[in-house]
Structure 1
């Protein structure tokens, strides 16, 4: 993918081992665990498709850390207008949240979504963050980039009404909670359509 993009690309991080999930009693990788009959990762992919944004899925990286995965994903789509870093274990994230983070990158270098004062994902980075992101490695992710941009006054803390941005799957309990939330969301959506 070497064409220029006028919108940011969603980088879905799916290279982790999911060890905490298995340690909690999970029988398969957390991204393959079903919620309402679909694997966790498929729910994330569906949300990105519904948002209209392009995506790149990182299934392997040069190292085991989040920094390695982010660096690999960003380097794979270097001509994007920016990148939304989205862990593959957030099956309830809403397409509108992805669009809102993408739009906010028009005026800010970094966009940090929040739900009820909890930092969530996707974290958005504008094109001028490419060198720093593509050079990431190790376990720390992009926190140093965020801190540097915050000192420069280039970070937006974007409040969203979407529990899905903070509802990651790290244990079988998280999976059960996400399944219950998904069922409630489907029920309220069906009521809203009547």
Structure 2
């Protein structure tokens, strides 16, 4: 199953108090670089959604990832998801993994589990300890709906509208729940 990765990294980091994408983790890499490099180690096609005018080299991103501009990122995650999904027009993948740029601790094996469950007409949602996490994988059948999203709800409306297509996959990886919203979370 060919799956493309879409890393959402165009948010404003309001709760963090600054640009958390540049926050340095214990290994010396920035939060965003760590998250993107992890994605690049698993997926052959990685696209990173940034704010309009930002470039990969400005954030130290690997050369292999493709930057997608989200001109309306300030209006919410739905706009970034729509911009990223619209970029998939040239992809022959059967599913897209929606990754968040502030979740660097997802295990490679977990990505493999999710990819194994993916399909063109499936929505794969990881769960750990009974809580839904990320990334969520959307089959190609749902890309048109994702490309029409607006606001700050993300893809919840697509998941709700297609609940019969959802596969809830239990994983042993707490990384699917661990994001960085505050500076102290960087030092976990």
Normalised by the length of structure 2, the TM-score is 0.82
Matches within 5 A, 1:116-131: 116-131=129-144
1:111 alignment partner, one of 113, 118, 124? 124
- 2:20 corresponds, among 30, 46, 52, to 30
Contact 2:95–2:120 (8 Å) recurs in 1 = no
What are the within-5 Å matches in structure 2 for residues 132-143 of structure 1? 132-143=145-156
2:181 and 2:153 map into 1 onto residues whose CA distance is 18
Unaligned runs of 5+ in 2: 52-69
Q: Which runs of 5+ in 1 are unaligned?
A: 1-5, 23-27, 178-194
Partners of 1:82 and 1:58 lie apart in 2 by 17
Asked whether the 8 Å contact 2:3–2:43 carries over to 1, the reply is no
**Mapping of 1:32-111 within 5 angstroms?**
32-36=22-26, 37-60=28-51, 61-63=70-72, 64=74, 65-78=76-89, 79=91, 80-106=93-119, 109-111=122-124
What residue in structure 1 maps to residue 67 of structure 2? none
- Following superposition, the deviation at residue 108 of structure 1 comes to 5.3
Contact 1:108 1:156 in 2 (8 A): no
Q: Is the 8 A contact 2:77 2:150 kept in 1?
A: yes
- Structure with bigger gyration radius: 1
Check conservation: 1:105, 1:126, Cα contact below 8 A. yes
Match of 1:10, SS state, is: strand
- Deviation of 1:107 after TM superposition, in Å, equals 7.5
Describe the superposition over 1:84-109 as per-residue Cα deviations: whole angstroms up to 9, x where unpaired. Answer: 11110001111222222122113751
Is 2:144 aligned against 1:149? no
Alignment length, in residue pairs?
165
Consecutive aligned runs of 4 or more in structure 1 exceeding 6 Å deviation: none
Equivalent of 1:7 in 2, 10, 24:
2
Normalised by the length of structure 1, the TM-score is 0.80
